[in-house]
Amino acid sequence: CWLCSMELLSLLLRGSAYGNVGAFSGDGSRNTRWDGACPIGILSRKEKEQGVPVAEALKAPPHPVWILHGGDHFTLAWAPTAPPTEAGAKFRLYHWNGLPPAGPRLAGLDVV
């Protein structure tokens, strides 16, 4: 049973249950439905594991907050300030996982 889905997240974040967070629509055109629609981002492991790219607007949101889709549940990552734009610059990212057995847990990560 799925308790939370991309459709539910979409409904909560933007007011419509549009579950396609991929970079492309069903017809192969660029997915622009997320452009400017959400102040925070969504990242999914499907991009790495299955080669399904996430919409660019969700990778680089206006605020440095991302919902992370790990396959079987969602977690949250955020940076206290906007990440630097310089290549190789280090910044601090926090990750919250509220689901046992790994959580509840807050972890700080230095990202380069």
| pTM for this entry | 0.84
Alpha carbon of 91 to those of 53, 76, 82, 85, 94: distances in Å? 24, 17, 9, 10, 10
pLDDT of residue 4: 74
pLDDT of residue 65: 97
Cβ atoms within 10 A of the Cβ of 63, count? 12
pLDDT of residue 30: 93
